[in-house]
Amino acid sequence: MAGKTWQEFFANNLGKIIGVTIGLLLGWMIIEYGLLKTLFVIILIILGYLFGKQADDGESLSALVNRIFRR
């Protein structure tokens, strides 16, 4: 890593750093709280992301619910 700055290192390896961080966090959560509680939290995070994206895009909540629960 001679001659490189920390900013260059992080810029060149951002995906790896994020992947390791998420893996470490999920591993800790599974060990600490169990698989089902961890999956529940992940589902809530995904739903929160979807609701937030809907709000950012200016779409209604009913459109999201209809898209998730299509027949």
Q: What is the pLDDT of residues 3-51, one digit of tens each?
A: 678 899 888 888 999 999 999 999 999 999 999 999 999 999 998 888 8
Q: Global pTM? A: 0.66
Contact 10, 17 (CB under 8 A): yes
Token pair recorded at residue 66 = 């209809």
Domain boundaries, given as residue ranges, for the chain: 1-33, 34-71
Strands annotated E in 1-71: none
Cβ atoms < 10 Å from Cβ of 49: 10
